[in-house]
Amino acid sequence: MDKIDAASDLILHSKRVVVFTGAGISTESGVSDFRSPGGIWDRFDPDEFTYQKFLSSSASREKYWEFSKSLWPAIVNAEPNRGHYAIAELYQMGKLDCVITQNIDSLHQKSGVPEETIIELHGTLKWVICLECGRRYPREQIQARLELGERVPRCDTCGGITKPATVAFGQPMPERETGEAEARSAACDLFLVAGSSLVVYPAAQMPLIAKDNGAKLIIVNLTPTPHDSYADIVIYEKVGEALPQIIERVKAKLKG
């Protein structure tokens, strides 16, 4: 039995699948990776964009917003790829418990996975939040202000500091999302990693939590990860190539 077929069998016999996605699925939609060679951190110094620096001065916030402004067009114009749609098919089959994602691009929502089924561990670029009163703004609204020349957007309600609703270096992880991701990982019977190098913690802990609680583990990633030895199946392919094949096999077996 080949690995695609073996993975389809695990999905077929599972009742509660958690899919965990990282940058590897989004790069196939043209969204730049942060850490890979040629990625965003090759062009920008990550030390310039820490949470502490963002809070420290208006000049740092201006630099952060300039950086974020430059990322937005590629994010907002990106479209889901075959990997995203394969995960959406898992939802339609009734197999998907949730998607836990490290990505900030909302491509899972665009592919048809309901918002309430997606746990965004590192936040989202879709919203901007006031750090003082908590008001949320659609990103398009703030982007329009940036395009008109505003350099450091302030909150219309309280005048407070606004920031993209993403988790910056040095910023605490969101407690609710992290706790829910841990609980869903512990309760699933199959954990599927799709396009993550599994080096960023605490996100990379999730597959191990699942495995420790008896789940099967499938890893689909172009390159090896530190967790490969824990996996039941490891497939070194692009997510957009491997996942659709796996889902097609599942559908064929369901038809009998």
Write out the catalytic residue numbers: 122
The 10 Å Cβ neighbour count of residue 188 is 26
Pair 39, 212: CB distance under 8 Å: no
Tokens of 15: 């009742």
State residue 229 phi and psi, 5-degree precision.
-70, -20
Sign of CA dihedral 40, 223, 234, 227: negative
Determine what percent of the chain falls in helix, strand and coil, rounding each to the nearest 5: 50, 20, 35
Neighbour count for residue 177 (Cβ, 10 Å): 17
Give the H or E element holding residue 86: helix 82-93
Whole-number Å distance between alpha carbons of 198 and 220: 11
